[in-house]
Structure 1
Amino acid sequence: MTTIRFFAAARAAVGTDSSTTEAGTIDEALREIAAADPPRWGALQERCSYLVDGVTTRDRSTVLEGVAVVDVMPPFAGG
């Protein structure tokens, strides 16, 4: 089981701080999310970075087997 945590604009679009998944890849996990604002969430995913157990990636085909946490990090000012 992998925990997906959402930050800033991603949290606002999804409507929750986190969810859990047994999906095989980041992309599969993101498609499972029942977002509070689906159009915003769909557009935002293309611009996010993902921290997979602390390692940054933008590759949504990253396999989640053995991964504890994925942080969804949207672009934000000042960073």
Structure 2
Amino acid sequence: MSRADILKEVTDIFIDVLDNEDIVLNDETQAKDVDDWDSLNHIQLVVAIEKHFKIRFTSKEIQSWNNVGEMLNCIQEKGI
């Protein structure tokens, strides 16, 4: 799966979980850039992404992400 395809699917997950059709993500997007992306919703986003791609993240991986690009890198590293 290409990085662009992964980004599209992750964007769709964000739109669904945060109930906001206006979300546009890129590699540099951070939580502060997206309305309602707080710590509680972050957990829901991670769980939804794990279910969608059938993968599991470690706590260390999740805590290392500073932006969407780093999240996408981690998804790609899992062989998606």
Structure-2-length-normalised TM-score: 0.34
Query: 1 or 2, which has the higher helix percentage?
Result: 2
Structure-1-length-normalised TM-score: 0.34
